[in-house]
Amino acid sequence: MNNTYILQIGNSDNKLTQKEWSEYVNKIIIVVKRHSDEIHFSGGSSNWEPWQNYCMIFTLISEDKLSLFIKILTDIKNEFNQDSVALTIGNTQFLE
């Protein structure tokens, strides 16, 4: 059984301008698309809200390359001067 990954980023502290936020989200999306087997959800907060966040739920093509994937995400986080990226890893259980 493959793990499910939930990736969350945000800009609630307004460190990033709208243009920078857009670039940050787009870089994250590109990396997830390159490494994911399937994306189950991708979306963010409403554009009129006072905060900005984005979430993706996906599976990885190769879980043995998880450390490389995390390094790439960390590099992007640092490039955009962000304090954190949240990555939740777990098994999805279907209830019947």
**Domains, the chain:** 4-90 (3.30.70.260)
| Euclidean distance between CA atoms 68 and 81, whole angstroms | 20
Sheet holding 36-44, edge to edge: 36-44, 53-60, 4-10, 86-90
For the whole prediction, is pTM greater than 0.75? yes
Q: Is the pLDDT of residue 21 over 70?
A: yes
The per-residue DSSP string of 19-32 comes to HHHHHHHHHHHHHH
Task: Identify the burial level of 9 via C-beta atoms within 10 angstroms of its C-beta, where 0-12 means exposed, 13-18 middle and 19 or more buried.
Answer: buried
Q: What is the pLDDT of residues 56-96, one digit of tens each?
A: 999 998 888 999 999 999 999 999 999 999 999 999 888 98
